[in-house]
Structure 1
Amino acid sequence: MSAVPAEEFVAELRALAPRYWDSHPFHLRMHAGQLSKHELQAWAANRWYYQRCIAQKDAAILSNCPLPEIRRQWRERIIWHDGTQPGEGGAENWIRLAEAVGLTREEVLDERHVLPGTRFAVDAYVNFARTQPWVVGIASGLTEMFSGALMRKRLAALREQYPWIAEEGFAYFTNRIQAVAGEGRATLDIVVEHSLTREQQLAAVAALSFKCDVLRAVLDAVDYYSGKGKP
């Protein structure tokens, strides 16, 4: 089956925007200032598990990719999350946010608050990256196309609605907002260039849909745990 034109393919990917987790009830309550400190802690602790697995996911994609030019580009993502030395990187900044909402570093790192639903969804995502073709794995990360606006909105909401959170806790978002726009464009370019058949294009769309499901599953778990979600 012949591939559709790039513009049509990109439109199919962007059409998944309503499935992104920005419209999840938990995020809506967060932005409205309706979360308790306990709920923010549950969110931070569970989102930590996702954050700490991102570098593993990216390493799995890199290990499947035979193209050195793509590997050179993709390994920068691992460095962004892990840093080049202890105390640096996106994962470290997420721990600082968790501390700013009242958790200790110890309880974040030992994952005592990570819910089974969160663990199941995130582990499935890492396994997906390990077992799928590298282009499909990269396509799953195209949620970057949707995340920049959400991060800006969330950062503003957290500052306004939860003024007790120390400003140093927001380093993850302030740094990530700057990075995600460029990464999103680069990721889309890779997927469009290397999805050469219609089957590959459809696999990329399915991968992005799967990633949206993973993200929403994490929030479903936290939402249900908070007592405000539906069984």
Structure 2
Amino acid sequence: MSTVAPPATGAGELWSPEEFTARLRAVPAERYHDRHPFNLRMHEGALRPDELRRWILNRFHYQRHIPVKDALILAKFDDSSLRRSWLRRIQDHDGPVEGEGGIERWLRLGEAAGIDRERLRSGAEVLPGVRLAVDGYVNFCRLRSALEAVAASLTELAAPAIMRTRIDAFERHYRWIETDGLVYFQSRIGQGGRDSEEALALVLAWAATRQEQEAAVAALRFKCDVLWALLDAVDGAGERP
């Protein structure tokens, strides 16, 4: 899957809110990484312990950059109430205090899978392709408009479903992972639904031209490609001699 989003044409009349919403929702429905062969094998219970650990290690590089990209998005807002609302996303991952939040929960997932948290934190085993994908997403949020950066976050529209599938798969097929490690997935069901609806409302309100609407759709395609490229790197690493 390409990591380059197609350019917006800017031609044509403004889509209605209903059509715009449908076009946005269609992107993760067609391109979300739940369709990636690696995720399919994960959910079928076909991954070896070393493959699952490799995914946990590399996905952590993405997880730890979520509050970074959200801070870059927050800095684009000129409304204090909107900044307060978006700040919640940073706290969801960094935690309001030490020992809480999504990053801490991912560290506990690693421990439940037999990975020392210092090994996760070191980043020494992060694959080059994963670094490239994550850097691309962070820089997208740094350099693009607030509309595009928020629209890219709409992969969360599909997050609750994949989290439910993942919890079921881990409980069925990977019982060697302690159940306490699944708390991250459980917490993201509610957070992803809430955050995606909030972001969708912003995108619908801000995209005032057809060009802006198309840019929002392209941004969401780009984010899907980032997640796909990350899994390509993880999956491909298993094919090396």
Aligned to 2:95: 83
Q: Give the Cα separation in 2 of the matches to 1:198 and 1:68.
A: 28
What's the CA shift string for 1:33-68, capped at 9, x where partnerless?
110110011000000000000000000001112222
Q: What TM-score do you get using the length of structure 2 for normalisation?
A: 0.92
Letter in 1 for 2:44: A
- Match among 60, 63, 82 for residue 51 of structure 1: 63
Match of 2:139 among 127, 145, 148: 127
Q: Which segments of 5 or more consecutive residues in structure 2 lack a partner in the other structure?
A: 1-11
Normalised by the size of structure 1, how large is the TM-score?
A: 0.96
Q: Which residue of 222, 228, 233 maps to 1:210?
A: 222
CA RMSD of aligned residues (A): 1.1
Counterpart of 1:9?
Answer: 20
4+ residue segments displaced more than 6 Å? none
**Structure 2 CA distance for aligned equivalents of residues 170 and 98 of structure 1:** 10
- Same amino acid, percent of matched pairs: 47
Any stretches of 5+ residues in structure 1 without a counterpart? none
Task: Look up the match of 1:172.
Answer: 184
Equivalent of 2:232, from 220, 225, 230?
Answer: 220
Aligned pairs for 1:6-155 within 5 A: 6-16=17-27, 17-155=29-167
| One-letter amino acid of the structure 2 residue matched with residue 221 of structure 1 | A
1:10 aligned partner, one-letter code:
T
Shift in Å, 1:2: 4.3
Residue 133 of structure 1 aligns with an amino acid whose one-letter code is: S
Residue 86 of structure 1: SS of its match in structure 2? coil
Aligned partners of 1:217, 1:146: CA distance in 2, in Å?
17
